[in-house]
Amino acid sequence: MIDRFLEDKGVLITGGASGFGKGVAFEFAKRGADLVLIDINEKMLEETSKWIETETRQKVVPIICDVSQTDQVKQMAKQTFQELDNIYILFNNAGICPGFGKDVLKVDEKIWNSTINVNLKGQWLVSKFICRNMRRQSFEPLSGKVILSILPIVNCGNQHFGTVAVVRFVWSYQTEPPFDIDLSAATTSRPSEF
């Protein structure tokens, strides 16, 4: 029997239509969470949402949103809190890796910019607009939890650009009060693992 410790709690997952996001969404729903799934792929988002809802009997709200666009993220956050009364876990999972495996000096600027916008700016935007509401929640001892998924922007030896920026974001968030939301980062070594 699976412990349903997320009963009456909401979970928002960006990049939730496929891969790692889809798998994590299903596992959270099995544990009692109602979900808001965010993605730009409308067809896959609808299919995933219906599948999880059917399999788990949990509420699943699909929202199409480009996490790199401020106006879309603002609207998504507003809709999220109209659909669910809380978001206890924010899993910032949306990401792209078009430059993975390329020499950093050979990556096209357009690819660099789009990857930074989704993988870094997107995590900041979603965290910014969702955490504002999370801080008003009355869960104890924390108002909620945020998980940032780190995807490399380009491979540069053993270092991945973007990883350092997201880790720094987590560190700065955790060292400045109020300390009411737990923030952590998760990574994988290869995009194919998603």
pLDDT one-digit tens code per residue, 33-67: 999 999 999 999 999 999 999 999 999 999 999 99
Query: What's the rounded Cα separation, in Å, for the pair 77 and 167?
Result: 24
- What pLDDT sits at residue 55? 98
Peptide bond into 62 cis (omega under 30): no
Residue spans per domain, the chain: 10-193
Burial annotation 5-17 (CB, 10 A radius, 16+ → b, else e): ebeebbbbbbbbb
List, for residues 131-151, the tens digit of each pLDDT value. Answer: 889 888 888 877 788 888 766
In the block, residue with structure tokens 């959270």: 28
- The tens digit of pLDDT for each residue in 71-89 reads 999 999 999 999 999 999 9
Furthest C-alpha separation in the chain: 51
Among 15-19, 46-50, 118-122, 177-181, the range scoring the smallest mean pLDDT is 177-181
**pTM for the complete prediction?**
0.85
Candidate CATH numbers 3.40.718.10, 3.40.50.720, 3.90.850.10, 3.50.50.60; the one for domain 10-193: 3.40.50.720
* Sequence-ordered alpha helix ranges (H) in the chain: 19-30, 42-56, 70-83, 109-116, 122-134, 163-174
